[in-house]
């Protein structure tokens, strides 16, 4: 048995030796043939450059990077080229950096000119407020003059109702925001009709005072109330969709517990600034040209409050946009720091243009409804719609999403966001959106309720100040509520813009696609603001 195994192993070894001898012979024969073909020249050798073996960690990293091509087989003369030389000559093209991710933490200040103007304005306004507060205190301490008696009278009967209206507006802002987050579908029609009723009640109350100054303000509020009622009837078909948008857009808020912090902080700072501002108005009453001085203070307060609202808007927009686009749990405090430093210039510039844009949008819608056979109305509508075409491309309220997320300037962000809407054919959808109108009417409702509160108080104590207190209470109530509603407005803007940029089905449901399908298939009638003039058929 053992002899048989030994014989078999010897036979296999013999066969291998025969095969090896045959290979060596063939190699020698080929070498001789090559020498003959080259005429006895120098021998050429083949240099094969191979990648070194990678360990397990390098293999894992390579899966996240672009695979570089392997160097080809090169033939070099003997003694003139080595594998190290060939490997040094082959340098793979480096992978370009991820530009989209790098711009998320851009450190470039945006819209520096507008930032500089706002800072200068804020310094001048602070100096003016301090000066007028000093003049008010100086007048109050001068007991012998008639100015001191007048200022004490104003301080006693004029200032407390306005301060009370400010506190009431802050409470209403908290209530509106909480109610919209809890019952979004119910609150949309409730806000529309509450605005109609509250402004109507405020106008009737001012007319009942039977004072010349309050009558004009009452007529204006009643006219606005009628317009708000007509608008509520006009947008009836959009109410259900707007409720769904509020519900979907506010859903990520529960993931960020401190997201309301910037809006609350801005309302606190706004209350302190308004309190100092109101005391400064008392000192401005006895200064040169009091009407122009107070008008300048009012414009300064409006711009400052709008910047505060947009700071809260940018903070929320960055947190929600990064959640949609990158799936990131962004830090609210860090986003707030960026909004108050790097992106503050864009907030200042947008605070000047966005209210004007919204006003032009309302005018364009009104002219679009009134446009008919009248040549003058057609010309006005044509001109206004041309202006709207330019404005919505270079300045719109949707820009704050890209300002917060990518650190772009106001104009560049406006063009990028509107370009996304045009690419996905969403222009008519965003033109017919009423979420911004609902937030605006919420501020008007709070202003009307603050007016009713302050006007009733002032009329019962001192009738002479009823008109000025009513107007200022309405203005303060509107501003404070708009700051509080910045979270809701920012979430809706992020919902539209981030869907247009990355319609991830895991984050977005079928609400927007179904609505776009309805608009493009003309299955539902819309009365939106066209961005281009209506072309009438020629006969």
> Could you read off the pLDDT of 253-308 as tens digits, one per residue?
999 988 999 999 999 999 999 999 999 988 888 788 888 999 999 999 999 999 99
* Spatial distance between the Cα atoms of 149 and 75, rounded to a whole number of angstroms: 105
Report pLDDT for 95.
39
> Which range, of 140-144, 172-176, 284-288, averages the lowest pLDDT?
140-144
Q: In the predicted model, is pLDDT for residue 91 greater than 50?
A: no
Answer whether residue 230 shows pLDDT above 60: yes
49, pLDDT greater than 50: no
Segment among 116-120, 191-195, 255-259 with least mean pLDDT: 255-259
Q: What is the predicted pLDDT for the residue at 359?
A: 76
Whether the CB-CB separation of 293 and 468 falls below 8 Å is answered with no
> Taking residues 18-23, what's their average pLDDT?
47
pLDDT at 119 over 60: yes
Q: What's the whole-number mean pLDDT along residues 344-361?
A: 86
Residue 110, Ramachandran bin (φ over 0: left; ψ between -120 and 50: alpha; else beta): beta
b/e map of 492-529 (b: 16 or more CB within 10 Å)?
bbbbbbbbbbeeeeebbeebbeebeeebeeeeeeeebb
Tell me the CA distances in angstroms from 432 to 239, 427, 453, one per residue in order.
11, 9, 34
- Find the helix or strand (DSSP H, E) in which 492 lies: helix 486-501
Lowest mean pLDDT segment, chosen from 27-31, 94-98, 452-456: 94-98
Q: What is the pLDDT of residue 367?
A: 65
* pLDDT for the residue 188: 94
């Amino acid at each position: 048995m053992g002899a048989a195994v030994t014989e078999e192993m010897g036979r296999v070894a013999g066969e291998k030796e025969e095969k090896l001898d045959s290979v060596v012979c063939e190699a020698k024969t080929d070498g001789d043939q090559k020498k003959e073909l080259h005429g006895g020249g120098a021998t050429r050798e083949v240099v094969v450059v191979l990648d070194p073996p990678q360990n397990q960690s390098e293999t894992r990293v390579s899966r996240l990077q672009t695979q570089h091509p392997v160097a080809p087989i090169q033939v070099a003369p003997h003694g003139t080229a080595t594998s190290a030389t060939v490997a040094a000559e082959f340098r793979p093209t480096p992978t370009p950096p991820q530009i989209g991710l790098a711009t998320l933490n851009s450190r470039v200040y945006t819209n520096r000119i507008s930032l500089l103007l706002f800072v200068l304005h804020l310094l001048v306004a602070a100096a003016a407020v301090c000066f007028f507060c000093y003049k008010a205190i100086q007048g109050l301490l001068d007991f012998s003059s008639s100015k001191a008696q007048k200022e004490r009278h104003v301080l006693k009967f004029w200032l407390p109702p306005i301060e009370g209206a400010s506190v009431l507006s802050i409470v209403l802002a908290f209530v509106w925001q909480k109610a919209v987050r809890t019952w979004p579908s119910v609150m949309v029609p409730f806000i529309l009709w509450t605005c109609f009723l509250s402004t109507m009640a405020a106008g009737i109350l001012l007319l009942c005072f039977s004072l010349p100054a309050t009558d004009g303000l009452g007529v204006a509020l009643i006219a606005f109330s009628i317009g708000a009622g007509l608008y509520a009837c006009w947008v009836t078909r959009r109410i259900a969709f707007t409720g769904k948008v509020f519900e979907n857009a506010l859903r990520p808020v529960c993931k960020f517990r401190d997201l309301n912090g910037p809006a609350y902080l801005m309302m606190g700072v706004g209350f302190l600034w308004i309190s100092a501002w109101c005391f400064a108005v008392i000192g401005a009453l006895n200064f040169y040209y009091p009407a122009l001085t107070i008008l300048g203070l009012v414009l300064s307060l409006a711009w400052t409050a709008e910047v505060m609202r947009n700071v809260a808007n940018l903070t929320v927009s960055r947190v929600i946009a990064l959640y949609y686009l990158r799936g990131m749990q962004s830090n609210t405090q860090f986003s707030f720091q960026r909004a108050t430093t790097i992106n503050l210039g864009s907030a200042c510039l947008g605070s000047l243009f966005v209210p004007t844009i919204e006003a032009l949008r309302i005018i364009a819608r009104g002219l679009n409804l009134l446009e008919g056979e009248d040549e003058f109305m057609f010309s006005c509508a044509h001109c206004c719609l041309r202006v709207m075409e330019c404005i919505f491309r270079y300045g719109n309220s949707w820009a704050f999403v890209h300002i917060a997320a990518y650190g772009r300037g106001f104009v560049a962000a406006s063009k990028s966001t509107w370009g996304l809407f045009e690419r996905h054919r969403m222009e008519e959808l965003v033109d017919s959106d009423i979420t911004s109108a609902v937030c605006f009417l919420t501020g008007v409702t709070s202003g009307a309720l603050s007016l009713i509160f302050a006007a009733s108080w002032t009329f019962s104590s001192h009738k002479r100040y009823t008109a000025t207190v009513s107007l200022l209470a309405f203005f303060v109530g509107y501003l404070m509520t708009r700051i509080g509603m910045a979270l809701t407005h920012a979430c809706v803007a992020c919902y539209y813009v981030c869907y247009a940029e990355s319609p991830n089905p895991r984050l977005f449901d079928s609400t927007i696609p179904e609505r776009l399908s309805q608009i493009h298939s003309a299955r539902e009638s819309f009365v939106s603001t066209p961005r281009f003039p209506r072309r009438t058929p020629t006969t």
